[in-house]
Amino acid sequence: MAFNIFERVISMPQKTALYIRVSTQEQAQEGYSIEAQTSRLTSYCKAKDWPIVEIYTDPGFSGSNTERPALQRLFADIEAGRIDCVLVYKLDRLSRSQKDTLYIIEDVFLSHNVAFVSMQENFDTSTPFGRAMIGILSVFAQLEREQIRERMNMGRLERAKDGFFHGGGFRPFGYDYEDGQLHINQMEALIVRDVYSMFLEHTPINKIEEILLEKYGRTIRHTAIRSILSTPIYIGLISWEGHTYPGRHEAIIDTESYTKAQELLNDRARIAASKPFPFRSTTLLGGLLFCGNCGAAYFAKGNYSGHGSNKTYRAYYYCYSRGKTTKRKIIDPTCINPAYPVKELDKRILAEIERLVSDDSYFNSVVSLPGSQKSADTERQKYAIMQRMDEIDLQISRVIDLYQLGTISMDDIGARTTKLQNEKDALQKTLASMAPKHEKKLSAAEARTLLDEYFFIMENGETDEKKALLHSLIKKIIVKPTVGEFDIIWNF
C-alpha cells in the first residue's frame, strides 16, 4: 500500500459535477436547502463558463461518513473518467470529517486528476493556494486520527480490563463472537486442543499443518498454528498491548499445557538461533525490502562515527545495486535508489502495522486493496478499453434501431452484432487479464489473529519471532525512487 502526499496541476474544467448534501436537521436552514445550493452552484458555473455534466444530490444524509449513494456514484463516475471537476457549496457538504475530507480530495479527486472547488471558502485545488490548503487539512486530519485512535485504545483497554474481547468484527480461532462476548466453537476448539496435544508431543509445526488438513479437511497455516500456541486467550486471558487480564470467556486449554507450550516454543527459538546460518539477516526488514528502481533486494550495512566513548555504529538499508557489495545481486550498477537508516525505516513500517492493530477502518481498507499497485500506463489502457466497450454497446444499439426502422435485414443485424460482440468479448478478456494478481496467504481473520499478538511479540519476543511475524504479515516492501515513498504489499 503506497503512502505519500502529492500535488497535481489540473487544467480548466470541462466536465464539472455538482455535489449537494443536506442532512435532515439542515433541511429548513437557509442556504442549505437543495434548491438554494443548486441555484448558487449553477450560477457559479455559468459565471466561470464551466459545463455541468451532472448534479449529485444526497438528501437527508449525514456528513459524518462517506456511505452516501450519490457520493458513491460520483466516485464511480470519477474512476470512469467522466468528470474533471467537483464543485460544492461549502466544504462540510463533502464531509464533516477532516480525515474523510482529506481522503476524498487526495485519494479520489487528485489521484484521478479531478479538481475540487468549494464555493463558500474559495477552496480550489487547481490553484497553488488550494493545493497548499491540502497540507493544512492533513495536519488536522492527523490530529483527528490520533484522537480517534486514543479514544479507541482507551475503550479497548477498559474492555480488556473488564475481561471482554476487543471485538472489531474478528474473532479468535476456536471461539464465536456474539453479543460482545466469546463463546466456544466446539469444532474449532477440538482443533485447538489437537494442536496443543501434537505440539507437546514434539510434532513439528509444519507437520501439524499437514495432519490437520488430512484429519479435518481444513488448511490451518503454520503462522495461525504458532499464534494458537502462543495466544493466552485459550487459557481464559485477554491480552491488550502487552498486558493480560482475566477474561470472562471459557478457557479451551488448561494453564499447565499452555505453559509447557511456551517453554517448548522458547526452546525451539533458542536452538534455531544457535545454529550456524551465515546468511541470516539480523534486521527486522531483511528479506522484505526491494528496490522500486532496479528491482534488486535491499540489505543492511553500517559504519562507525565518532571517537572513543562517543563512537557509535549506524546501520543503513541499501539497494544491492547501489551498495555493490555482492556482484551477483547487482541488477543496475547505475541505480541510486535511496538508502535509509535501519532504525528510521523499521520505525516507519512498524507504525503502519500498529495502525492496523488500532484502527479497524484502516485494517478493512488494507484488506480490500489489491495486492499490487496499478501503474498509470495500465490504468490508461484499461480506460481506453472500457471506452471502446462503451462504443461497441452504442453501435449494437444503433444496429438494432436500424433493424426496427426496416433499414437492414435480419441477416445483416446478425452479422454486424456478432462481429461487435466478438470484439467486446475479446476486450473483456483483456481487461480481466490486466487485473492485479496476488495470492493472499492470509485471510482477514488470520491476519487479525496475528495482529492481536503484535505488541506482545514486539515487547517480549526474540528477534527471530519478531521477523517471523513481519514476514507473515508482509509480502514485500517496495522502496520507491522518490525519498519517503514506499509500497507495502501485505499478505492479506
Residue positions annotated with a catalytic role: 23
Locate cell 491540502: which residue? Answer: 134
| DSSP per residue, 343-359 | HHHHHHHHHHHHHHHH-
Q: Are 236 and 246 in contact (CB under 8 A)?
A: yes
Grid coordinates of 162 = 473488564
Grid coordinates of 487 = 509500497
Cα dist. 71→132, 350, 471 in Å? 25, 34, 38
Grid coordinates of 82 = 467522466
Cα dist. 201→182, 207, 249 in Å? 29, 12, 27
**DSSP 8-state secondary structure symbol assigned to residue 226:** H
Neighbours of 440 (CB within 10 A): 15
| DSSP per residue, 38-104 | HHHHHHHHHHHTPPEEEEEEEET--SSSS--HHHHHHHHHHHTT--SEEEESSHHHH-S-HHHHHHI
For residues 72 and 54, give the distance between their C-alpha atoms in angstroms, rounded to a whole number: 14
Which value, to the nearest 10 degrees, does the dihedral of the CA atoms of residues 257, 263, 268, 271 take?
Answer: -160
Say which residues have a Cβ less than 8 Å from residue 112's Cβ, sequence separation at least 6.
Answer: 78, 79, 81
For residues 292 and 483, give the distance between their C-alpha atoms in angstroms, rounded to a whole number: 11
Say which residues have a Cβ less than 8 Å from residue 374's Cβ, sequence separation at least 6.
Answer: 436
Residue type, 111: S
Q: Are 371 and 441 in contact (CB under 8 A)?
A: no
Q: Are 447 and 169 in contact (CB under 8 A)?
A: no
Q: How far is CA 463 from the centre of its chain?
A: 26
- Which helix (H) or strand (E) segment holds residue 249: the answer is none
Closest residue by Cα to residue 87 from 59, 58, 114, 60: 114
